[in-house]
Structure 1
Amino acid sequence: MSIEEILKIATAIIASLGGSALLLGAFSHWLGGIWAKRMLQDERAKHEQSLQELKTKNEAALEDLKAQIDTLKQKELTRHFDKLSIYKDVIHIVSEILRELEAVSSSKQKSINPDVEHSFALNRNKAYGYISLISCQEVLDKYNEMIDFFIPIMYEGSDSTWEEMRGKADSMLNAMRKDLGINEGNIAYRGER
């Protein structure tokens, strides 16, 4: 075998292998592209499914949170109106006794009307209980200060001025206003009587 023949055979082998390699490379590239597209489609589908599940969970959680907020709002609104109602009742009791104390302190009448005294004695303890159930300690403290101020006047004949009595009532009212969220400052009696 001559060198020329060896070169021809080697060239033929290399050419045949090179052509196959080229075909094999092209086929691998084509097949790899198809697999890559399929894998990408599978990954996209998985991600979209995960996103949809997450979106559904988030929507459900958001609806649950909205329902909880609505329930809390309703409870707080009911509590606010309960406080307002009880505070109105307490103010009624206090107004009644203040009227009597003012009449006695200004010498318009000699003594407190027994019916008013009885009503006050009965209702002041109810008011204490109601305030204790729905209010804060500050309101209860101001209520107690006022009642403790009124009792010696009513039962022991202690003297007091209208301004002092009214001041105790205003102090309680300011605590109630604060508890109700009315933050426009304190109120004070600025009248002449």
Structure 2
Amino acid sequence: MEWNAVFQLVTASLASIGVGGALVFAMASWLGKVWASRILERERTALGSELEKTKRELDVVKETTLRFQNDKILTYRAVVDVVSKVLASFDSIEQGRLCADEAASRFDEFNEQRIRVYGYLAMLAPQQVMDAQDRLMDHLLCVSQGDEPYEWSNVRNLAIDLLNEIRRDIGIDKSPIQYNGQL
């Protein structure tokens, strides 16, 4: 066999192997891309499902938090309503504009509302709010029973303390308010 024939045989063999190899490489590359796109699509779908689930869970947490915060605000408004009503009654009694029977009736109403408000607060308020409310209500009860004098500045300070604790709890503004009036 001549070198020329051997060279042609080797060249022909390499060419056929090269073409076959190129075909195998091209097919493997195409098949790899198909598999990769299928895997990627499956992962996207799974990730999309996870994201939707997480979004739904976050929406539930957000809604629950907003409802709880709204309940707190409504409860605190009820507290302010009860306190303002009883303070108006004390002012009327102090200035002689309210007869004894009507004052007793208002005190009974205040006592009922005070107990109700305490229950509402106990469900939602932190201990600092409860303590401020207790100090104010205890003082008002002592005044109504004649154990302490009715002094507007003392009542006002206790009411402002309660309002400041409420403001801290709600998170509206953590800086305390103060009375800057003349009376």
Measured in 1, the distance between the counterparts of 2:21 and 2:145 equals: 102
Contact 2:167 2:173 in 1 (8 A): yes
Figure out how many residues of one structure are paired with residues of the other and give that number: 182
- Report deviation, 1:184: 6.2
Q: Deviations over 1:24-54 (max 9, x none)?
A: 1111111111111111111111111111111
Three-state SS of the structure 1 residue aligned to 2:181 is coil
Matched, 1:90 2:84: no
Measured in 2, the distance between the counterparts of 1:92 and 1:116 equals: 14
Matched, 1:58 2:44: no
Three-state SS of the structure 1 residue aligned to 2:179 is coil
Q: Deviations over 1:73-101 (max 9, x none)?
A: 22222222211211111111111111233
Q: Which runs of 4+ in 1 moved over 3 A?
A: 102-112
Q: Which residue of 1 aligns with 2:18?
A: 29
Give the gaps of 5 or more residues in structure 2.
Answer: none
Give the gaps of 5 or more residues in structure 1.
Answer: 1-11
Q: Which residue of 2 aligns with 1:71?
A: 60
Larger Rg: 1
Contact 2:93 2:103 in 1 (8 A): no
- Report deviation, 1:109: 5.6
Equivalent residue letter for 1:163: S
Equivalent residue letter for 1:20: L
Q: Deviations over 1:123-177 (max 9, x none)?
A: 2121111011122222112111211222222224312421110111111111112
Q: Which residue of 2 aligns with 1:118?
A: 108
Measured in 2, the distance between the counterparts of 1:98 and 1:53 equals: 67
Match of 2:151 among 148, 161, 170: 161
Q: Which residue of 1 aligns with 2:132?
A: 142
Percent identical: 21
Contact 1:136 1:179 in 2 (8 A): yes
Contact 1:105 1:162 in 2 (8 A): no
Q: Which residue of 2 aligns with 1:43?
A: 32
Contact 2:143 2:149 in 1 (8 A): yes
